[in-house]
Structure 1
């Protein structure tokens, strides 16, 4: 993690130039669309955990079955990410994301109609597959719309949507489940997604096809390193490209680091409300209030990581140092989650979990690193590969925690498991990642 890397001195000097006043700021409008889409994306993941305490009793589901249902989303989501990344590169962010939003939201509405384990499990598999284009399309959109000096905060803003939605809507969805029944949680979140999906198709454009972006803004983002021309390119998929990407240590390191941080994320997205209600014996209302705090902490963490990372670049530090520092610090601090095993106080428990999720938010700045290393022809595919690794954590963690709780009747060993995985992420980012640079594909 050297401070200045020779190949990036010129780029750092360029990015350190003061921002010009531009006739349009269309890139920030597009980013606001990404943020809203990501909020909906994660609300439709976490809605199951909010409904779970009520649903499990109503449908007669035990901890092993709930662990399988919690993980079902990640099974299809993870393995659809590589083809979904190609789809994002081939169709562009507008069509890929729009179709994904509308279809997964319809499947979300369907979850409100389930009558047992099989139908619920099947629909969660379907939602996972249909959400797969989302983050590759996010990564691609930021890479084509934002110069390098703004890419860290831009990535952080849309990634914070995965925490912000839960922080904003957990209480409302808890109230909805308590007052109207758990099925209405799925009806309401699904309908919102369909409406916004149609709005996305109407409003979003890549810079090469956007009629409302000025020539000055277009020149500014392209001069700053935005891959504007890639928004006009279409590439053909080849498994050889996947193999070539996996020959780079940077890709492997980000894959391992994302696996680690996503393992912590999926605890909070799945078992967290159940932990508060069943192990900490909180009421539904109290759990709904306390459950918001770690998500606020994670939101602060990801935004802070983006601001600090971009600030370091503007101050002349190398791109590698600026992008890697949040990843190492966040992963290391994430190991603090094991401290929850040493307190009986609910307030201290929430404080520890808020700190741990704040750290996970910092480590989620890895999306900016993906934007920096992805070949210009394969931005979506690179995002798909690293997301695949991340969401293997989404498969493993809910099942592992379900099995641990079922056999030990306690969450204690589950926190030791998450802490050990955070250590793997820390080591990967510290020693395996190396220098960040944009990968140039070999001619075949």
Structure 2
């Protein structure tokens, strides 16, 4: 089938991609609510920077611990059900956070609600790997994974100004209530419009044939597959086998380093702008959108570049590792913000670093390319769980670094070094990229 024929085979794979991308957009927005509401909460509720760091970190503890069971549920129940349940429950948790100011122990209440948010958001990553693997051929997964991953930047570009405006006009409480209500509306759209390929009421046979011929796992979620997985679920030996595969271990390590960079932006970045540039949270929200837009551009463009490289070279390894390396080198430039004082230069460097972070974030595409087909959900869960342990460490480390020095200088160096660690892992540990096969442990 020629490239000219591709647009005529159907478009429902793009609908599925749009839906899971929008879900991640809301997921990222809801976890970033605390970063925007944080300065107001600190002032009104008397929470100090270290306590705020613990609140940021509480989400990540639960998010990480929730991924393995979430991945298991995605493989057992499918993406549609697990995303629906998670979306409804995390939206309720977000909404409830708007009322902690009326409680006797708001710090404890926020910790608990952030834990709930982390648990209920954990199915999104594993489900997305399954959706991309099921709906997209290998030749289109670079773009699909990049579009999906760009949701985290799109979310910050859209929701950070909105949340900053809500905070400024109505108070920090409404950051949570509005975002929670919007999430419940999204749940209605998800349940109505998302379907797996084998059960989609409108997908054409031509589109199914096209994506199947290109390597899409279209039978994921089929009646036969569902019966088999529901009967046993992923085996413990299969899960443990992931850690005997050097390629996957290297991918997991790199994702930790990449996610550490992300967590600076979704936790401390608005506070960094308020403190460093001496601006209010409303202006910080709009300024924070500029790096996010740059990240979105980088995140989308890398998919086209990666798939173009795949067509030109025929090498999955070159096509995925090259943009990852270029992007993460640029993202390490965030360290330069520690030595410049011009506000415009800081915003430029942050935007360049965030562009690079987006350009280097092909992790979900790599997982869709390499995860063992029997346990794609669990592999995505382990991948995202290990990555988001950075969400436990990063906000806390930054909180202590800022509290000790009174500046963000050491924090920026700490974040920038993670890009170099990810490059090292991909080129030294990972090796060639290919679909992993899980073998039983030696006796």
TM over 0.5, shorter chain = yes
Contact 2:160 2:289 in 1 (8 A): yes
Partner of 2:148: 158
1:186 and 2:176 are equivalent in the alignment: yes
Partner of 1:6: none
1:353 and 2:339 are equivalent in the alignment: no
Partner of 2:372: 375
Aligned length: 430
Contact 2:241 2:440 in 1 (8 A): no
Partner of 2:25: 39
1:251-400 counterparts in 2 under 5 A? Answer: 251-400=248-397
1:202 Cα deviation after fit? 1.6
Paired with 1:443 and 1:352, the residues of 2 have a C-alpha distance of 48
Partner of 1:410: 407
Paired with 1:38 and 1:352, the residues of 2 have a C-alpha distance of 26
1:422 and 2:419 are equivalent in the alignment: yes
Q: CA RMSD in A?
A: 1.4
Q: In terms of mean alpha carbon deviation, does 105-114 or 433-442 score higher?
A: 433-442
Paired with 2:262 and 2:343, the residues of 1 have a C-alpha distance of 20
Q: TM-score, normalised by structure 2?
A: 0.94
SS in 1 for 2:99: coil
Contact 2:130 2:376 in 1 (8 A): yes
Of residues 112, 118, 136 in structure 2, which corresponds to 1:146?
Answer: 136
1:18 Cα deviation after fit? 5.0
Contact 1:250 1:432 in 2 (8 A): yes
1:198 and 2:188 are equivalent in the alignment: yes
SS in 2 for 1:228: coil
Q: TM-score, normalised by structure 1?
A: 0.94
1:35 Cα deviation after fit? 1.7
1:405 Cα deviation after fit? 0.5
SS in 2 for 1:22: helix
1:207 and 2:191 are equivalent in the alignment: no
Contact 2:255 2:384 in 1 (8 A): yes
Paired with 1:332 and 1:173, the residues of 2 have a C-alpha distance of 31
Contact 1:78 1:392 in 2 (8 A): yes
Paired with 1:363 and 1:118, the residues of 2 have a C-alpha distance of 37
Partner of 2:216: 226
Q: In terms of mean alpha carbon deviation, does 330-339 or 404-413 score higher?
A: 330-339
Q: In terms of mean alpha carbon deviation, does 296-305 or 227-236 score higher?
A: 227-236
1:52-71 counterparts in 2 under 5 A? Answer: 52-71=38-57
SS in 1 for 2:202: coil
SS in 2 for 1:112: helix
Q: Deviations over 1:335-380 (max 9, x none)?
A: 1111001111000001111111111112211111111111111111
1:87-106 counterparts in 2 under 5 A? Answer: 87-106=73-92
Partner of 1:5: none
Paired with 1:48 and 1:247, the residues of 2 have a C-alpha distance of 37
1:330 Cα deviation after fit? 1.8
Partner of 2:439: 442
1:218 Cα deviation after fit? 0.4
Partner of 1:111: 97
Long gaps (5+) in structure 1: 1-13
Contact 1:230 1:377 in 2 (8 A): no
Q: In terms of mean alpha carbon deviation, does 393-402 or 354-363 score higher?
A: 354-363
1:169 and 2:159 are equivalent in the alignment: yes
Name segments (4+ residues, structure 1) moved above 6 Å.
none
Paired with 2:333 and 2:417, the residues of 1 have a C-alpha distance of 10
1:19 Cα deviation after fit? 4.2
Q: Deviations over 1:372-411 (max 9, x none)?
A: 1111111111111111111011110000000001111111
1:46 Cα deviation after fit? 0.8
1:286 Cα deviation after fit? 2.6
1:420 Cα deviation after fit? 2.0
Paired with 1:408 and 1:197, the residues of 2 have a C-alpha distance of 44
Q: Deviations over 1:202-260 (max 9, x none)?
A: 21100011111000100000000001112322432222112111111111111111111
Paired with 2:5 and 2:378, the residues of 1 have a C-alpha distance of 31
Paired with 2:3 and 2:356, the residues of 1 have a C-alpha distance of 31
Paired with 1:21 and 1:295, the residues of 2 have a C-alpha distance of 30
1:166 Cα deviation after fit? 1.4
Long gaps (5+) in structure 2: none
